[in-house]
Amino acid sequence: AQSVTQPDIHITVSEGASLELRCNYSYGATPYLFWYVQSPGQGLQLLLKYFSGDTLVQGIKGFEAEFKRSQSSFNLRKPSVHWSDAAEYFCAVGGGQAGTALIFGKGTTLSVSS
Amino acid sequence: DGGITQSPKYLFRKEGQNVTLSCEQNLNHDAMYWYRQDPGQGLRLIYYSQIVNDFQKGDIAEGYSVSREKKESFPLTVTSAQKNPTAFYLCASSIGGYGNNQPQHFGDGTRLSIL
């Protein structure tokens, strides 16, 4: 069965510092992977997606993620965090049985300190 | 602009009452989804529909019901059988009728509380 694990519930990063949010997935074949961001009281916004090809994908707001098949990981990175990046981040996996929905991780809350 | 509209943004339910959350999309997407979000729990799938007049139960369907009479609309009813309905409810949609390899687009959510 597909599953997604985000090991870090809460991370605090200083403004201007680099960021890496971890995501590990369980899936037998090549997965379709997504990162979403959610501001308080809002819906989820798609940051980036990986379907195939280049394992380093670029997204919006200066984010990127790297697919590592050997580690079953799809970690999200940003070289320099801004205060406005404080939010909750969700990793999701798809590509499984037809007629099913994406599987979401439980999320990582990012706080940015000044 | 195309998007997903959820209404109302805030909703209050009395004990024993059914309430219906609205979700409308103008993205021409075939698939629509309802999630429940509780603190620390992430998103849990309630129901999803891959095509008009068809829908499937998700992981936590008990106490909820849906209909999909139109492509654009996927309302969720929280029935009195749902004993702990207080949560943030998110509606989403995606392209394509089958397979879960498409990104989902989300509405801004409805927060349901018990009076």
CB atoms within 10 A of CB A54: 9
Could you tell me which of B108, B109, B105, B110 has the C-alpha nearest to residue B28?
Answer: B105
pLDDT at A96: 60
What is the identity of the amino acid at A32? Answer: Y
Q: What is the mean pLDDT of residues B52-59?
A: 93
B108 CB neighbours in chain A (<8 A) are: 41-43
Residue A93 contacts residue A83 (beta carbons within 8 Å): no
**Chain segment B18-29, per-residue pLDDT in tens:** 999 999 999 999
SS3 for A69?
helix
Q: Is the pLDDT of residue B50 over 70?
A: yes
Q: Which of A32, A44, A60 to mutate to test the interface with B (most CBs of B within 10 A)?
A: A44
Quickly list DSSP for B51-107. ETTEEEE-TT-TTEEE--SBTTB--EEE-TT-S---EEEEEEEESSSS-S-S--EE-
Question: What kind and span of H or E run contains A66?
Answer: strand A64-68
> Mean pLDDT, chain B, as a whole number?
91
CB contact under 8 A, A43 and B56: no
For residue B88, give how far its alpha carbon lies from the nearest alpha carbon of chain A (Å). Answer: 8
Please list the pLDDT of chain A residue by residue as tens digits (114 residues): 788 999 999 999 999 999 999 999 998 777 889 999 999 889 999 999 998 888 999 999 999 999 999 999 999 999 999 999 999 999 999 866 655 678 899 999 999 999
Could you tell me which of B70, B66, B34 has the C-alpha nearest to residue B52?
Answer: B70
Chain A, 18 to 57: residues with Cβ < 8 Å from chain B are 32, 34, 36, 41-46, 49, 51
